[in-house]
Structure 1
Amino acid sequence: MDMHIENIQNDLKNDDIQAYLLTQFTNVEYISNYKPTSFAFCVIKENPIIYASSMDMEIAKNNSIIEVREYESFETMNEELKKEGIKRLAIEPSLPYGTYEKLRDDFEIASKTYVDKQRMIKTPREIENIAKATEIAQKSFMQLDILNNKNTEKEIAFDLVRFMIENGAEKESFDTIVTSGANSSLPHAIPQGKKLGQPILIDWGAKYNGYCSDNTRTMVYDEFQHEIWDIVAEAHDKAIKAIKPGFKCSEIDMISRDVISEYGYGDNFIHSTGHSLGLDIHETPGFSPRDDTVIEEGMVITVEPGIYLEGKFGVRLEDTVSISKKANVIGDLPLNIV
């Protein structure tokens, strides 16, 4: 039996819950090695089972380490689970309300994040996949020759995705951000059909074997932009140096935030310092003021402080670190791209 399944079965026992229903695609993939293409109900219990759609039966049977049964109806699934004596059923917090309605009459429902807890600590193989995704993404970024690029933001974003795929990525790990000029003050700016202004901010990642990478670089030009860049770089470097097992995630966020606040830009750092990644681009825990998770070896988390000056420009610098006795930056792309 898979170690993660055993851990979840122990969590269920401790909470006096008989089964745990998963529908989120990456959670099902993480537990079973089968990635649904339409829908699937993965039930972790004494004898775990996946109810897959008829469309997915072939792929599920080929890849799943868990028994697979074809889904017929909610009534059938609920009856089978009730026959096994399942009364208390855990669900993911992300389960759609419409699905919850179809379960609540038959079971006592509890919302649990058992899989998220397992996914927080990466295996060496998972870290290898993230490192390979990062290598592909960084190599592709260097191919852009961004400083001599005469294309529009949209075209550059398209080129970057194409390079990543040519270099071995499955796809981009999120919508590539290429933004410049005043729009760079929007943390999730959408590439426009205009030539590059100054500064240039690019936030991108590749997916390899299902695992994501995530980096941001900002290229600055005038003295004021350089000044802001230096502050963000200091916040980025100090946070990374401080990361060690035993610290709370919120303490790392504070180190990064304090640097930016000392220079008078605290109100312009408008998001958390970082987030875990893996099969999803945003996982838990994160370096945020509200996250008191204790850092452990095997976590993989981004560090991405930023300063955003509304109507003027923004600077963000992001690397992903894997944590052992300290934080190890994944990849070898310099912060300063000149």
Structure 2
Amino acid sequence: MRIKKLEELSQKYNNSCIIISGDPNVYYFTNYKGAGSIIYCDGVATLLAPLLEENRAREISGLDVKIYYPSNIANGILVGSLSDILPKLITKNTVALDINWSTVNVYRLLSSKYNLIDISKDISEMRSIKDDEELEKIKKAGEITSEAMKVSMEKILEGEITEKQLSGIIDYTMKASGAEDYAFPSIVAAGKNSSFPHHIPTDKKILENDNVVVDIGAKFDGYCFDSTRTFNVKGEVRKIYEIVLEAQLEAIDAVTSGVNASEIDKTARKVIEKYGYGRYFVHSTGHGVGIEVHESPYISFNSNDVLKKNMVITVEPGIYIKDKFGVRIEDTLIVTNGKPEVLETAYKLL
């Protein structure tokens, strides 16, 4: 558990009480996956959980657990909603809160009674730098994703399969290989459908001449992975593929601790613009990966983030030409003080 980090954060803000909400944040600090909030006051961390999560909360969190329920049905249960319960446990005039994960009701209540400090940036930065345990889980998620990516490539080569069928096989492969879930709904986009970056798989049959964008990621023990490959690149698609690959490789080469995240985006974008396809690169170059598949740092042209050792990010430039096709190539990588560690799932030259 990382509760000690809350102690350090409390001290940073004059020993204020800290409230942590949001499933990803609660999991980060406790390994407990479920509804609830953490309140840290006077050196004591308490997990507040609804009645239906009582058994799991007590078994997993390792914290003092207090259970709440809307009505009084048993002794020892706090009566009311979370916003009703929190004031009974706060012992300070100042409360530090991750506002990004606060409900409107909780925010209104706390702002009317206490001096509020927004610690959303602190929590985001804390989670963005992974420890060894987190890195191992992400690597394992990558190994599982790699298995599914290889299966998808084989199925495309075999033919006679639809986008929806292939996405189902991918999801099954990840689960069968040890994933607890997929990090996001698997994307399989063939032919013209590949021009939509977040295409939802359909019953379209993948034809022999269709290029296929496969964007997938496994989730292992709470941690995500993200990888994209474009398969069956021929003709005009090959030309665009080579441009995207050049942009991706140059951007990866620029990744190191101390570099502004915006520079990575600019590096990829500059290559694509050089070939006259700048307006077809319609999203940022990447994002952080961890408990959430999209988290800090953000690899975009207007990002203020600075890369640090043990951040995990994606680099994923793409070109999308409406009514024709799209190409995206994405790797997840670990930032180091030198060249990044690239966690590849499949060969990029096919």
Asked whether the 8 Å contact 1:247–1:295 carries over to 2, the reply is yes
- Aligned match of 1:101: 108
Q: Deviation at 1:152? A: 0.9
Q: Deviation at 1:17? A: 6.5
Asked whether the 8 Å contact 1:220–1:229 carries over to 2, the reply is no
1:61, 1:86 → 2: CA distance? 29
From 119, 122, 126, the counterpart of 2:134: 126
Which amino acid in structure 2 is aligned with residue 25 of structure 1?
D
- Aligned match of 1:294: 306
1:331, 1:264 → 2: CA distance? 28
- Aligned match of 1:274: 286
Task: Write out the 4+ residue segments of structure 1 that deviate beyond 6 Å after TM superposition.
Answer: none
- Aligned match of 2:87: 78
- Aligned match of 1:27: 25
Q: Deviations over 1:146-201 (max 9, x none)?
A: 22231110111011100111111111110000011111111101001110141110
From 161, 164, 171, the counterpart of 2:181: 171
Q: Deviation at 1:332? A: 4.8
The question of 1:65 aligning with 2:73 is answered: no
Report SS of the residue matched to 2:101: coil
The question of 1:195 aligning with 2:205 is answered: yes
2:55, 2:105 → 1: CA distance? 27
Asked whether the 8 Å contact 1:52–1:70 carries over to 2, the reply is yes
The question of 1:150 aligning with 2:169 is answered: no
Asked whether the 8 Å contact 1:21–1:92 carries over to 2, the reply is no
Which stretch of the first structure deviates more once superposed, 171-180 or 41-50?
A: 41-50
Asked whether the 8 Å contact 2:17–2:92 carries over to 1, the reply is no
Asked whether the 8 Å contact 1:245–1:326 carries over to 2, the reply is no
- Aligned match of 2:49: 52
Report SS of the residue matched to 1:225: helix
Which stretch of the first structure deviates more once superposed, 316-325 or 214-223?
A: 214-223
- Aligned match of 2:37: 41
2:96, 2:227 → 1: CA distance? 39
2:279, 2:46 → 1: CA distance? 49
Please give the TM-score of this superposition, normalised by the length of structure 2: 0.90
Report SS of the residue matched to 1:105: helix
Asked whether the 8 Å contact 1:32–1:64 carries over to 2, the reply is yes
From 265, 269, 276, the counterpart of 2:277: 265
1:254, 1:9 → 2: CA distance? 38
Report SS of the residue matched to 1:231: helix
- C-alpha change, 1:44 and 1:331, in structure 2 (3 Å) is farther
Which structure 2 segments of 5+ residues have no match?
69-77
2:314, 2:172 → 1: CA distance? 24
Report SS of the residue matched to 1:298: coil
The question of 1:335 aligning with 2:332 is answered: no
Asked whether the 8 Å contact 2:93–2:115 carries over to 1, the reply is no
Q: Deviation at 1:252? A: 1.0
Report SS of the residue matched to 1:104: helix
- Aligned match of 2:71: none
Which amino acid in structure 2 is aligned with residue 326 of structure 1?
K
Q: Deviation at 1:208? A: 0.9
2:147, 2:85 → 1: CA distance? 50
Which amino acid in structure 2 is aligned with residue 134 of structure 1?
G
RMSD: 1.7
From 245, 248, 251, the counterpart of 2:257: 245
Asked whether the 8 Å contact 1:171–1:206 carries over to 2, the reply is yes
Which amino acid in structure 2 is aligned with residue 165 of structure 1?
K
Asked whether the 8 Å contact 2:233–2:241 carries over to 1, the reply is no
From 119, 125, 129, the counterpart of 1:117: 125
2:46, 2:300 → 1: CA distance? 36
Please give the TM-score of this superposition, normalised by the length of structure 1: 0.93
2:218, 2:7 → 1: CA distance? 33
From 284, 305, 316, the counterpart of 2:296: 284
Report SS of the residue matched to 1:52: strand
Q: Deviation at 1:20? A: 2.3
- C-alpha change, 1:27 and 1:289, in structure 2 (3 Å) is same
Q: Deviations over 1:216-265 (max 9, x none)?
A: 01124432110000000001111111111111111111111111111111
Which amino acid in structure 1 is aligned with residue 40 of structure 2?
I
1:263, 1:57 → 2: CA distance? 58
2:265, 2:4 → 1: CA distance? 33
2:194, 2:161 → 1: CA distance? 17
From 139, 146, 149, the counterpart of 2:147: 139
Identity rate, percent: 33
Asked whether the 8 Å contact 2:142–2:345 carries over to 1, the reply is no
Which amino acid in structure 2 is aligned with residue 179 of structure 1?
A
Which structure 1 segments of 5+ residues have no match?
none
Which amino acid in structure 2 is aligned with residue 248 of structure 1?
N
